[in-house]
């Protein structure tokens, strides 16, 4: 107990609390701007943290990151411009809720269940991180291959409309991911000798193009024909979410658990977690048909999963110093500089520091609620701006955001091309979300497949030789065979019913 | 512009074949049987399969129509002009910004966009100026994004 | 129309150009980092930038230009206007990418200002692998047929791939006696090794530090002439197998070729002050990165020597383009 008090003493100081508050506001601002990612907020804070003590330094980054990730849902919900591939999983539902006049309900759900998922993940981090980290260390390329296939399968199965069209979208994303030279062979593909194309298609400009620019094109086509959104200002954000919690307790817990577990795997992360959770939610829902039409259920589960995964990513980072994503990589660097060397020894040498970090995690997720509430209230005013003024401004944000991701005009060109592709896809009822996941997971799929084949000297059986890989592999194959079996059974039935 | 199911299936099929052909030149990792061509080839097979499935399903349903259904907007010259403007504005920014800098390029894109969508000139000018400065300050100054400088407006940096 | 814009813009930059000769720098400087936020190069770039900013009195903004195995960022540095307002961190990949045929760019397209860090390669195995010395490991590698063992830690043709091939050649083994499995960097490679995916990681020991501390990874040797300060118990190759092979990654601060002399001198002295600052020194030690100062001439010489050595190894290992 003494150690916790000591840790609390490190956190509950005016200076540290002020740092937490300022970085929270900063994270909220960066995250809410379409096209800017949490990674950017973190990278910008690094030089500032050089001049701080360990606890406020970590507090600044952790708080800003947590805020930025939630705030990324704001442009997603209001303007269908998701901030991360993870939030692309449920952007259809949240945007439909906005169009139906309930943006605050959608954002409130994102906020509250993000916080719940984050708190759950932190509690797991505090109590069970050494055990979970051990499991995570058993994942090699064979296991990750199946996990990626599982994530991609979910994208196809949850996509509204026909799975065939979802598959077309996924394949577009996977193909775009092959461009560039960052592949296992290190060979240039589809670059036409252009150095900028060596870097491949960055997913953020592509995502801005597919979602936001296609929407801008549609707005320019329709001019004032877009229906005016009725903004329900009087509804209480938190009361609605309490109702959601009572209605969907299983979903919230399932999302948190699954998100934390997948997030703890350094090669997987929040992107896969949110998609798998959304698919799980739809699969076990009593009303799967409502998914994608502005239904809050998937939002609850995937939102909790998203932030659970963010907390989960700290498990291998703190226990073994293994970064799961660019944010944990930055923080591990800062920890080293501050003399806290991640690894099992940190729990023995500096337990009060680690517990202080845990307290900061909890605080960050709690402070998110009031600040998020303010942000939602403020952001709602965006919807009262007429689209003839709003759309050109959004277009400008898209341009700057696409530029900022690699500080290069190539990002804007990628955005433009994918804007047109996204527009044409939606004209043809091809969902765009699976393309994003294909683009993000394509490199992981290829990396894990090709390296596995090199290790196994070309034997496919190796994908089933390790226990966890075998389990995941069989599970994936079962998922894929169910719809095929159903198709055959249905065909058999309809053949016997219809007399020929 | 909506392709009929059969057309979509055939387009997807052709896309798959194109990927397969283009991937034939990719080499394997020395000493291995896998390499740069593995993934594109797998994507090509999947794409061909999906194309066949979509086209086959359309044919089985008796839908043999080829071509594109035109939506209303294609027939409206004004709508096409406006959508075209949105795309042209992006191109204008890409081409002009490195030469004239961010500030004038952004100002032009915002103003032209608002005017095309029917905002009255005076409010459009005022809002464009405010928005340009706000974006430049927040991205360029606070977030340190290296937006192209314009010497004419160097006081903003 | 664009012509007129261009003319106006050129006019202004001429005016600006005339002004800077006297008082460089008078506006923000861009520091291009060819690798992503969160990596070691990014960290080094950011701390140098922070120190330079204090030294030069203008903002020094870190700009990540990532992707393409470093080709994109290095091209951006080399192709920038040589006016001192764009500099960057040039990494060892510049000595390899042109041998692979990825670009025509070589170190000669840069004005190398200083070398600020080196990290020697090492040999690391999983703690439960059963090998407790590099001799034992080498014996197994020699005894078993080619391809029995696997290694990882960078992409295909990356620095640790070349480093491993060079070591094997120095032990009179074929450069692909150990199969190299490409990975997205040292950290995923090390994780994969601990999960049982590969047998050995030839990356720098600093990159495996947390897992070494956790006693999951065993460092067998360092590929440097002398033992490393941070790992005094880890022997050199020369002490153990007798191989004289050494390899080290380095990071330099560089600008495009053709910087004016006064600009170059201003930058070099500012970088030297930044290098000697307490902040930089303690940062590098805490992170476990190797400190190494070399001025423009010495740094250029090291870069040139590595370029030739890597070209030779890559040709023998079949990693160089025909």
Farthest CA pair distance, chain B: 68
Q: Do C210 and A321 touch (CB under 8 A)?
A: yes
CA A126 to mean position of chain CA atoms: 23
Q: Do B43 and A404 touch (CB under 8 A)?
A: no
Q: Is C299 exposed, middle or buried (0-12, 13-18, 19+ CB in 10 A)?
A: buried
Q: Is the CATH number of domain C122-240 3.40.190.10?
A: yes
Sheet holding C179-181, edge to edge: C179-181, C150-152, C200-201, C122-126, C217-222
Here the ipTM equals 0.94
The owner of tokens 């949110």 is A274
Q: Domain for residue A168, yes or no?
A: yes
Q: How many domains does chain A have?
A: 1
The Cα–Cα gap between C156 and C147 comes to 16
Please write the tens of the pLDDT for every residue from C276-305. 999 899 888 887 889 999 999 999 999 999
Given this model, what pLDDT does residue A81 score? 81
Given this model, what pLDDT does residue C21 score? 46
Task: Name chain C contacts of B146, Cβ cutoff 8 Å.
Answer: 30, 61, 63
Mean pLDDT of chain A: 85
pLDDT at C108 over 90: yes
For residue A186, the chain B residue with the least C-alpha distance is B36
Q: Which residues contact C235 (CB under 8 A, 6 or more apart)?
A: C134, C221, C222, C227
Cβ atoms within 10 A of the Cβ of A475, count? Answer: 12
The Cα–Cα gap between A302 and A375 comes to 21
Given this model, what pLDDT does residue A416 score? 96
Q: What is the DSSP string of B120-142?
A: -HHHHHHHHHHHHHHHIIIIIII
Instruction: State the average pLDDT over residues A471-492.
Output: 82
Backbone φ and ψ of C258, nearest 5°: 95, 20
Q: Do A180 and C67 touch (CB under 8 A)?
A: yes
Strand partners, A109: none
DSSP state of A451: H
Given this model, what pLDDT does residue A492 score? 62
Domain that holds residue A144: 2-465
Q: What is the pairing mode between strands C29-33 and C248-256? A: unpaired
Instruction: State the average pLDDT over residues C206-210.
Output: 85
Q: Domain for residue A329, yes or no?
A: yes
Q: Is the dihedral of CA A301, A304, A309, A312 positive or negative?
A: negative
Q: Assess contact for C98 and C306: CB atoms under 8 A.
A: no
The Cα–Cα gap between C137 and A383 comes to 66
3-class DSSP state of C294? strand
- For the ranges A269-273, C59-63, C136-140, the one whose mean pLDDT is highest: C136-140
The Cα–Cα gap between A120 and A243 comes to 19
The Cα–Cα gap between B70 and B54 comes to 20
Given this model, what pLDDT does residue A498 score? 44
Structure confidence at residue A131 as a pLDDT band (50, 70, 90): confident
Q: What is the DSSP string of C98-114?
A: TTTTS-S--GGGEEEEE
Which residues of B sit within 8 Å Cβ distance of C?
29-31, 95-96, 99-101, 144, 146, 149-152, 154, 157
Given this model, what pLDDT does residue A235 score? 59
Q: Is A383 exposed, middle or buried (0-12, 13-18, 19+ CB in 10 A)?
A: middle
Kindly report which listed range (A350-359, A421-430, C201-210) carries the lowest average pLDDT score: A350-359
For residue C29, the chain B residue with the least C-alpha distance is B146
Given this model, what pLDDT does residue A259 score? 92
Specify the higher pLDDT residue, C220 or C42: C220
User: CB-CB: which of B95, B151, B157 is closest to C2?
Assistant: B95
Task: Name chain C contacts of B34, Cβ cutoff 8 Å.
Answer: none
C102 in reach of chain B (CB within 8 A): no
Q: Do A416 and B91 touch (CB under 8 A)?
A: yes
The Cα–Cα gap between C21 and A23 comes to 40
For residue A198, the chain C residue with the least C-alpha distance is C68
Q: Which residues contact A53 (CB under 8 A, 6 or more apart)?
A: A338
Mutate to test the interface with C, among A30, A36, A45, A47 (most CBs of C within 10 A): A47
The owner of tokens 């002490």 is C239
Please write the tens of the pLDDT for every residue from A296-344. 999 999 999 988 988 888 888 888 877 777 788 778 878 877 777 777 7
Q: Cα Rg for chain C, rounded, in angstroms?
A: 21
Task: Name chain B contacts of C318, Cβ cutoff 8 Å.
Answer: 30-31
Q: Do B146 and C63 touch (CB under 8 A)?
A: yes
A66 in reach of chain B (CB within 8 A): no
The Cα–Cα gap between B35 and C262 comes to 49
Residues 142-201 of A with CB under 8 A from C: 142-143, 180-182, 184-186, 188, 195-196, 198-200
Instruction: State the average pLDDT over residues B69-97.
Output: 87
pLDDT at C7 over 60: no
Given this model, what pLDDT does residue C87 score? 96
Q: Do C9 and B96 touch (CB under 8 A)?
A: no
**Angle, vertex CA A141, rays to CA A137 and CA A145, nearest 5:** 120
The Cα–Cα gap between C249 and C290 comes to 10
Task: Name chain A contacts of C196, Cβ cutoff 8 Å.
Answer: 138, 140, 466
Q: What is the pairing mode between strands C29-33 and C86-91? A: parallel
Q: Is B67 exposed, middle or buried (0-12, 13-18, 19+ CB in 10 A)?
A: exposed
User: CB-CB: which of C2, C176, C179 is closest to B99?
Assistant: C2
Q: Is the CATH number of domain C28-118+249-316 3.40.190.150?
A: yes
Structure confidence at residue A499 as a pLDDT band (50, 70, 90): very low
Instruction: State the average pLDDT over residues C123-129.
Output: 95
3-class DSSP state of C282? helix
**Closest by Cα among A87, A80, A69 to A103:** A80
Q: How far is CA C264 from CA C18, C85, C111, C134, C237, in A?
A: 17, 11, 8, 44, 38
Specify the higher pLDDT residue, C317 or C4: C317
Q: Assess contact for C128 and C136: CB atoms under 8 A.
A: no
Given this model, what pLDDT does residue C53 score? 92
Task: Name chain A contacts of C179, Cβ cutoff 8 Å.
Answer: 454-455
Please write the tens of the pLDDT for every residue from A370-390. 999 888 888 877 778 888 898
Q: Domain for residue A485, yes or no?
A: no
Strand partners, C181: C152
Q: Do A327 and C38 touch (CB under 8 A)?
A: yes
What is the percent of chain B with per-residue pLDDT over 90, rounded to a whole number? Answer: 57
Record the tokens describing residue C27, joined without a space. 């506006």
**Closest by Cα among A267, A359, A361, A256 to A307:** A256
Please write the tens of the pLDDT for every residue from C27-76. 889 999 998 876 788 888 988 999 999 999 998 988 889 888 899 999 99
What is the percent of chain A with per-residue pLDDT over 70, rounded to a whole number? Answer: 94
User: CB-CB: which of C30, C62, C318 is closest to B30?
Assistant: C318
Q: Assess contact for A258 and A280: CB atoms under 8 A.
A: yes
Given this model, what pLDDT does residue A190 score? 92
Task: Name chain A contacts of C195, Cβ cutoff 8 Å.
Answer: 137-140, 143
Q: Domain for residue A480, yes or no?
A: no
Q: Which residues contact A469 (CB under 8 A, 6 or more apart)?
A: A140, A142, A143, A145, A146, A463
The Cα–Cα gap between A148 and B151 comes to 48
Q: What is the DSSP string of A237-252?
A: HHHHHHHHHHH-HHHH
Q: What is the pairing mode between strands C291-294 and C122-126? A: unpaired
Cβ atoms within 10 A of the Cβ of C203, count? Answer: 28
Q: Domain for residue A23, yes or no?
A: yes
For residue B19, the chain A residue with the least C-alpha distance is A175
For residue A265, the chain C residue with the least C-alpha distance is C191
Q: Do B43 and A30 touch (CB under 8 A)?
A: no
A and C: number of Cβ contacts within 8 A = 168
């Amino acid at each position: 107990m003494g150690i916790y008090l000591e840790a609390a003493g490190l956190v509950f100081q005016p200076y540290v609390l002020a740092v937490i508050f300022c970085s929270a506001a900063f994270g909220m601002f960066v995250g809410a701007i379409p096209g800017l990612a949490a990674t950017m907020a973190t990278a910008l804070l690094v030089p500032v943290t050089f001049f701080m003590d360990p606890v406020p330094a970590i507090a600044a980054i952790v708080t800003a990151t947590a805020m930025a990730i939630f705030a990324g849902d704001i442009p997603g919900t209001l303007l269908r411009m998701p901030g991360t591939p993870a939030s692309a999983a449920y952007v259809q539902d949240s945007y439909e809720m906005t169009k139906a006049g309930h943006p605050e309900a959608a954002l409130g759900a994102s906020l509250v269940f993000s916080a719940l998922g984050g708190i759950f993940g932190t509690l797991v981090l505090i109590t069970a991180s050494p055990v979970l980290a051990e499991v995570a260390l058993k994942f090699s390329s064979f296991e990750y291959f199946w996990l990626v296939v599982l994530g991609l399968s979910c994208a196809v199965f949850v996509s509204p409309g026909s799975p065939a069209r979802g598959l077309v979208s996924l394949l577009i994303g996977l193909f775009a991911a092959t461009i560039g030279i960052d592949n296992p062979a290190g060979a240039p593909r589809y670059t036409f000798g252009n150095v900028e194309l060596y870097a491949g298609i960055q997913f953020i400009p592509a995502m801005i193009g597919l979602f936001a620019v296609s929407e801008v094109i549609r707005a320019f086509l329709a001019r004032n024909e877009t229906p005016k959104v009725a903004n329900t200002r009087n509804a209480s954000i938190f009361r609605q979410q309490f109702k959601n919690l009572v209605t969907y307790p299983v979903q919230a817990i399932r999302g948190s658990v699954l998100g934390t577990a997948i997030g703890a795997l350094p090669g997987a992360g929040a992107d896969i977690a949110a998609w798998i959770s959304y698919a799980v939610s739809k699969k076990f829902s009593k009303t799967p048909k409502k998914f994608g039409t502005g239904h809050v259920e998937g939002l609850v589960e995937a939102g909790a999963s998203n932030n659970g995964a963010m907390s989960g990513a700290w498990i291998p980072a703190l226990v073994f110093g293994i970064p799961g994503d660019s944010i944990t990589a930055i923080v591990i660097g800062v920890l080293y500089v501050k003399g806290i060397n991640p690894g099992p020894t940190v729990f023995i040498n500096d337990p009060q520091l680690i517990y202080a970090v845990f307290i900061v995690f909890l605080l960050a997720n709690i402070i998110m609620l009031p600040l998020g509430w303010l942000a939602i209230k403020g952001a709602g005013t965006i919807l009262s701006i007429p689209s003839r003024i709003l759309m050109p401004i959004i277009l400008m944000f898209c341009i700057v955001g696409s530029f900022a991701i690699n500080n290069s005009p190539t990002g804007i060109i990628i955005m433009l091309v994918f804007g047109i592709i996204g527009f044409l896809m939606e004209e043809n009822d091809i969902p765009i979300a699976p393309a994003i996941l294909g683009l993000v997971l394509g490199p992981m799929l290829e990396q894990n497949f090709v390296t596995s084949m090199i290790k196994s000297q070309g034997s496919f059986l190796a994908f089933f030789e390790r226990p966890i890989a075998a389990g995941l592999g069989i599970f994936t194959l079962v998922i894929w065979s169910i719809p095929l079996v159903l198709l055959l059974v249905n065909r058999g039935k309809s053949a016997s019913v219809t007399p020929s | 512009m909506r392709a009929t199911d059969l057309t979509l299936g055939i387009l997807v099929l052709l896309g798959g074949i194109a990927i397969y052909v283009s991937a034939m030149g990719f080499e394997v990792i020395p000493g291995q049987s896998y390499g740069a061509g593995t993934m594109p080839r797998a994507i090509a097979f999947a794409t061909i399969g999906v194309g066949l499935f979509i086209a086959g399903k359309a044919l089985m349903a008796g839908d043999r129509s080829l071509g594109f259904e035109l939506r209303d907007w294609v027939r409206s010259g004004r709508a096409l002009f406006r959508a075209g403007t949105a795309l042209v504005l992006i191109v204008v920014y890409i081409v002009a910004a490195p030469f004239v800098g961010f500030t004038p390029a952004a100002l032009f894109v915002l103003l032209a966009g608002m005017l095309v969508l029917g905002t009255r000139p005076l409010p459009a000018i005022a809002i464009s100026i405010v928005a340009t400065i706000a974006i430049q300050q927040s991205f360029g100054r606070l977030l340190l994004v290296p937006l192209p400088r314009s010497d004419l407006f160097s006081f903003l940096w | 129309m664009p012509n007129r814009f261009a003319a106006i813009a050129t006019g202004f930059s001429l005016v600006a150009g005339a002004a800077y000769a006297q008082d460089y720098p008078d506006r923000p400087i861009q520091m291009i980092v060819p690798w992503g936020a969160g990596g070691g190069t990014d960290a080094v770039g950011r701390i140098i930038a922070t120190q330079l900013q204090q030294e030069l009195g203008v903002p020094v903004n870190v700009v990540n230009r990532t992707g393409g195995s470093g080709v994109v960022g290095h091209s951006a540095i080399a192709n920038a206007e040589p006016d001192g307002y764009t500099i960057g961190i040039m990494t060892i990949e510049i000595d390899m990418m042109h041998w692979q045929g990825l670009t025509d760019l070589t170190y000669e397209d840069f004005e190398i200002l200083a070398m600020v860090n080196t990290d020697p390669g090492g040999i690391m195995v999983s703690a439960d692998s059963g090998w407790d010395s590099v001799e034992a490991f080498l014996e197994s590698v020699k005894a078993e047929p080619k391809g029995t063992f696997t290694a990882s830690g960078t992409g295909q043709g990356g620095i640790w791939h070349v480093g491993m091939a060079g070591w094997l050649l120095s032990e009179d083994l074929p450069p692909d006696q150990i199969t190299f499995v490409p990975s997205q960097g040292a950290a995923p490679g090390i994780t994969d090794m601990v999960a049982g995916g590969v047998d050995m990681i030839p990356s720098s020991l600093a990159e495996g530090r947390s897992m070494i501390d956790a006693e999951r990874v065993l460092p067998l040797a360092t590929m440097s002439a002398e033992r490393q300060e941070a790992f005094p118990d880890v022997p050199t190759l020369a002490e153990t197998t007798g191989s004289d092979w050494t390899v080290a990654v380095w990071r330099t601060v560089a600008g495009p070729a053709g910087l004016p002399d006064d600009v170059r001198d201003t930058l070099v002295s500012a970088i030297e002050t930044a290098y000697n600052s307490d902040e930089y020194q303690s940062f590098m030690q805490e992170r476990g990165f190797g400190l190494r100062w070399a001025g423009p001439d010495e740094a250029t010489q090291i870069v040139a020597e590595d370029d030739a050595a890597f070209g030779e190894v890559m040709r023998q290992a079949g990693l160089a383009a025909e």
